[in-house]
Structure 1
């Protein structure tokens, strides 16, 4: 396997373009970036085949179709052993091995609260080496990893790419996916840029029907396409979680302000004393302290209670990663 230790400017621009519009045609991408469509496609294929970048899909957004929780696990010194046991669970979206007051941080999503309770008590609670579990129930997902972007394109270029993104109709009420929709989703989980023909062959459907289903899923806001890359080559290789305490009266206004910071990947409002928890990607380890100082100076009501640096991510957004952060395989999340 080719070892891609860095991305050049064209690579980064291609990835940023597909973060904005994961299913943009190569003609559209090439026109915006000012490169030949074949060049853009070849660059993406090289990064994808190396496991450096990928596009996956899930019922969206995480936490809006059912309960979600951030779960801390004290593993008695066996974090990788426990991670290996959980990595293929559809309820477990993300697994981070961390420093600080917890060994593992899991993002867990389920269809119903009863399912979440069963998973916490009967799946996690019965694992060998689990010494303690602390669960933080999410009351609101402010932002998640699918919304994080590189900073390689100009505002004008980003706007041109958004012109081809189907607008989301917020009036559509959530509902169960049909069998046809689930079949299409299964193909998009593996490759969010799979062609209509490939999706149709996999699902046993007519290509026109598949095209309509994908369009409707995106317009209804029930489908998230997530373009990701290895943290090590992103320019922000340091991954950390922060546990914040914010006055309840200010949480709904402060949380979106946190989510707008370029370093922020996830912001969750939590039912608990640490009522805002966020994940960040940073350029250097020293930026952990710098970000803390910036938040405390600009948002006087925010108290940073704790923080953990991620030593290794073994799963992110339903994608299993190797020790270097490359994609190994996709695990469909519970829809």
Structure 2
């Protein structure tokens, strides 16, 4: 796997990685629903042999064009923030200085009234404040920081779908969001080790996890099942945006009357373009990240929102020029996954 600077890109030609074809997109779509589905099952649903599916996925993952990763779900309030950063120096240099921080989970270089848009995650309110005040606010090349505290996730990026499967095909996979009831418990040392393995590769076999953690295969397999079924760990199948026909990522920042916030957020979460919808406390009270096919689609979507939702104002927006990190995964200039950090 390439391990170059996430913001600097590589010397390789962009044409070296063609866009994903229909079968590639269908495989990714299947794994978005059931990330650990067997290749035999994926092949049977798509009408191709398992060897072909496995070979395709191996190529996509090795090239950083698609991947399955994991994260630990948790309450948003007091732990998460969307931070707008204005840079006094070169935004690329500032991004490179931040991208390795564990707290920096997502980092976009953006247009408009901010140079960087940073998704920050911390263990608790104290840790979040420490990072914002002692790390971001004091950076030598940072001119200004504006923080929007996240109060709730209405749509998580891991719930976004490419939509390349028919309804019948999609229905044959088990939605990874379904979970068994159970009170949340603290993760054990083994749980943390399993989470780390799944962050690297959400499809890592139980045999490999067992070898890494030093436990029997059955225990490793049981730990994976328990963590996923109780939603203590969640899997996320992601894809290089520019290679799946969504060349434009935009952030929309909305001001919505408080009494209507929940309803508006729920409606926006149903938009097929919406990757992420969060309610916030700050300059805005709703932030939406969308993936679009063309730049003109952003204006079209804004008009659709303003025409369809009374008293809703899109107060600001920005276009992502480059994503250096997404959900802890380092990306190169073409949006290909190169490494995992955080």
| Shorter-chain TM band | over 0.9
How far did residue 253 of structure 1 move?
1.0
How far did residue 64 of structure 1 move?
4.2
CA deviation digits over 1:172-222, x for unaligned, max 9? Answer: 333321001001111111111111000111111111111111111111111
Structure 1 position 11 matched with structure 2 position 24: yes
Alpha carbons of 1:65 and 1:214: their partners in 2 closer, same or farther (altered >3 Å)? farther
Q: Which residue in the other structure is 1:290 paired with?
A: 300
Structure 1 position 175 matched with structure 2 position 185: yes
Q: Which residue in the other structure is 2:281 paired with?
A: 271
CA deviation digits over 1:246-287, x for unaligned, max 9? Answer: 110111111011011010001110113410011110010111
RMSD of aligned residue pairs (Cα, Å): 1.5
Mapped contact 2:84–2:147 kept (Cα < 8 A):
yes
How far did residue 78 of structure 1 move?
1.8
For 1:284 and 1:27, the matched residues in 2 are separated by 36
Q: Which residue in the other structure is 2:153 paired with?
A: 141
Mapped contact 1:166–1:215 kept (Cα < 8 A):
no
Q: Which residue in the other structure is 1:108 paired with?
A: 120
Mapped contact 2:154–2:277 kept (Cα < 8 A):
yes
For 2:276 and 2:39, the matched residues in 1 are separated by 29
**Structure 1 moving runs of 4+ over 3 Å:** 63-66
Structure 1 position 308 matched with structure 2 position 321: no
Which of residues 19, 23, 29 is equivalent to 2:42? 29
TM-score, reference length from structure 2: 0.93
For 1:77 and 1:158, the matched residues in 2 are separated by 47
Residues 182-331 of structure 1: pairs in structure 2 closer than 5 A: 182-331=192-341
Residues 109-128 of structure 1: pairs in structure 2 closer than 5 A: 109-128=121-140
TM-score, reference length from structure 1: 0.95
Structure 1 position 41 matched with structure 2 position 54: yes
112-121 or 217-226: which moved more? Answer: 217-226
For 2:282 and 2:177, the matched residues in 1 are separated by 37
For 1:17 and 1:292, the matched residues in 2 are separated by 30
Unaligned runs of at least 5 residues, structure 2: 1-11
CA deviation digits over 1:73-94, x for unaligned, max 9? Answer: 0012421111111111111110
Q: Which residue in the other structure is 1:97 paired with?
A: 109
For 1:65 and 1:36, the matched residues in 2 are separated by 45
Mapped contact 1:3–1:50 kept (Cα < 8 A):
no
Matched pairs, number:
329
214-223 or 129-138: which moved more? Answer: 214-223
The secondary structure found in structure 1 opposite 2:138 is coil
For 1:10 and 1:262, the matched residues in 2 are separated by 21
Alpha carbons of 1:166 and 1:264: their partners in 2 closer, same or farther (altered >3 Å)? closer
The secondary structure found in structure 2 opposite 1:161 is coil
Alpha carbons of 1:294 and 1:153: their partners in 2 closer, same or farther (altered >3 Å)? same
The secondary structure found in structure 1 opposite 2:173 is helix
119-128 or 98-107: which moved more? Answer: 119-128
Unaligned runs of at least 5 residues, structure 1: none
CA deviation digits over 1:151-172, x for unaligned, max 9? Answer: 1001111111127x48313x43
